[in-house]
Amino acid sequence: MRKVPFVNLGKQYEGMKDEIDQAISRVLKSGHFILGEEVLRFEEELAQSTGVKHVIGVSNGTDALVLAFKALGVGSGDEVITPAFSFFASAEAVASWGGKPVFVDIDPEDFNIKVDRIEGKITEKTKAILPVHLYGNPADMESLMNVAQKHNLKVIEDTAQALGAEVGGRKVGTIGDAGTISFFPTKNLGGFGDGGAILTNDSRIAEEVRLLRVHGAKKKYFHEKVGFNHRLDALQAAILRAKLPYLDGWNEKRREIAEKYSERLKDTVTIPSIQKGKLHIFHQYTIRTPRRNELKEFLEERGIGAIVNYPLPIHLQPAFSHLCHQEGDFPESEKASQEVLSLPIYPEMTEEEVDYVSKSVQEFFQD
Ligand SMILES: Cc1ncc(COP(=O)(O)O)c(C=O)c1O
């Protein structure tokens, strides 16, 4: 049987084995494994490629969120407005320091926070908005920043899935007070383990994050604050440095594959929409159909990996039962969780693989 896995990280490695092996060997020979020169260089290179003043490499995308909130002074008892439909880590990062995630429904058109619902959720405890650029598609940052400015709220962009995406000609993650990135291996820029970063144009936030990332110490064994151990490894930084120059090309390749899928599937399922002024980098190619579960099974029987991101919206997760949400509170998020299905998409996919997946989806609906 043919196989098209949901992701194929081995194929990416094969295509750049020498560069990766050299990067790894450089670190092994240096004997320096945490932060240091590799991380500094990576931070500079990522800052240059995104056009942001500061990049701070950290342990993962979840810790990046925690550090960003802490550096911005958002703390226990504060409310943060965030979409009900995302990976759990977005709201989890808020709750982890005693903050309260306040959910807003998504726009079914792009799966991102419905900006015109934000104002209705603002209270005197609201300190920040946490939009998520879901699947690699930018949220509507212009209107969101207007709401934030009007109400004097901080904005942290959860850019875990969207490094390289743009809205209004600007890279996402560089528009709010801070943006957070994940380098989880399957991300468009992925390490060989966990990794993350914070992007900011604010020197004060950058300095604070750098301090908090290493136990609140500027100088070893002298601690100005109680911080964390949220450091990025040199090995991850070296691997990410080797991959970074390819990111734009990989994102372009993903867009080409998305275009092919959309052309073939547009009459069969709801395809992802591409909105004016936005550069979607297709971390996921996510379709919608009320027959989602059957389709997923059908594709799996044909050796095709397809994934549901995400089967339960955050407001209905047992971990947030104390917030007393019920089914029906955020109908678009709930509907999306019943209908979405992400198809395989990665730059190394062959024309034949894209054909096979598209034809299999079409075949399912011919029955
Ligand atoms: C939207 C979103 N936020 C946060 C994270 C957390 O990133 P990490 O897994 O690197 O902690 C992820 C990871 O998948 C994510 O997709």
DSSP letters, 196-210, are EEEEES-HHHHHHHH
Q: Helix, strand or coil for residue 272?
A: coil
> Structure pTM?
0.98
Confirm whether 9-245 and 248-366 share one CATH topology. Answer: no
Specify the DSSP element, H or E, that contains 342. Answer: strand 340-343
Q: Top-level CATH class of 248-366?
A: alpha beta
> Tokens 């440095």 sit at which residue?
241
Which residue owns the Cα nearest ligand 1 atom 10? 61
**Which atom from ligand 1 is nearest to the alpha carbon of 182?**
10
Ligand 1 pocket check for 86: Cβ under 6 Å = yes
Q: Is 180 in the pocket of ligand 1 (CB under 6 A)?
A: no
60 within ligand 1 shell (Cβ under 6 A): yes
Give me the pLDDT at residue 243, please.
Answer: 98
Position 332 scores a pLDDT of 98
In angstroms, rounded to a whole number, what is the distance separating the alpha carbons of residues 43 and 49?
10
What pLDDT, on a 0 to 100 scale, did the predictor assign at position 123?
98
* CATH architecture of structural domain 9-245: 3-Layer(aba) Sandwich (3.40)
DSSP structure class, residue 222:
E
Residue of the CA atom closest to atom 8 of ligand 1:
61
Give bridge partners of residue 182 from the DSSP assignment. Answer: 196
Q: How far is CA 214 from CA 42, 98, 177, 257, in A?
A: 18, 21, 21, 41
Task: Locate the ligand 1 atom nearest the alpha carbon of residue 187 and give its number.
Answer: 14
CA 65 – ligand 1 centroid, Å: 9
Which residue owns the Cα nearest ligand 1 atom 7?
61
pLDDT of residue 294: 98
Tokens of 328: 């029906």
Query: Ligand 1: distance of its center to the CA of 62 in Å?
Result: 6
For the chain, domain boundaries: 9-245, 248-366
Q: Percentages helix, strand, coil for the chain, rounded to the nearest 5?
A: 45, 20, 40
The alpha carbon of 145 and the centre of ligand 1 are apart by a number of angstroms equal to 22
- Does 82 contact ligand 1 (Cβ within 6 A)? no
Instruction: Check: CB of residue 46 under 8 Å from CB of residue 197.
Output: yes
Q: Which atom of ligand 1 is nearest to the CA of 132?
A: 1
Ligand 1 neighbourhood includes 112 CB (under 6 angstroms): no
The position carrying tokens 């650029």 is 133
Spatial distance between the Cα atoms of 223 and 301, rounded to a whole number of angstroms: 56
Could you give the C-alpha distances from 82 to 11, 76, 85, 164, in angstroms and in order? 36, 16, 9, 22
Q: Is the CB–ligand 1 distance for residue 239 below 6 Å?
A: no
Q: Name which of 147, 96, 105 is nearest 126 in CA terms.
A: 147
* Mean pLDDT (10-residue bins), the chain, 367 residues: 93 97 98 97 98 98 98 96 97 95 97 98 98 98 98 98 97 98 98 98 98 96 96 98 98 98 97 96 98 98 98 98 96 98 98 97 92
Give the CA diameter of the chain.
69
CB count within 10 Å of CB 191 equals: 22
Q: What is the DSSP letter of 319?
A: G
Q: What's residue 135's pLDDT?
A: 98
Mutation to probe ligand 1, out of 7, 60, 62, 309 (largest number of atoms < 8 A from CB): 62
| Atom 12 (ligand 1) nearest CA | 160
For the Cβ of 103 lying below 6 angstroms from any atom of ligand 1, the answer is no
Distance CA 38, CA 236 (A): 9
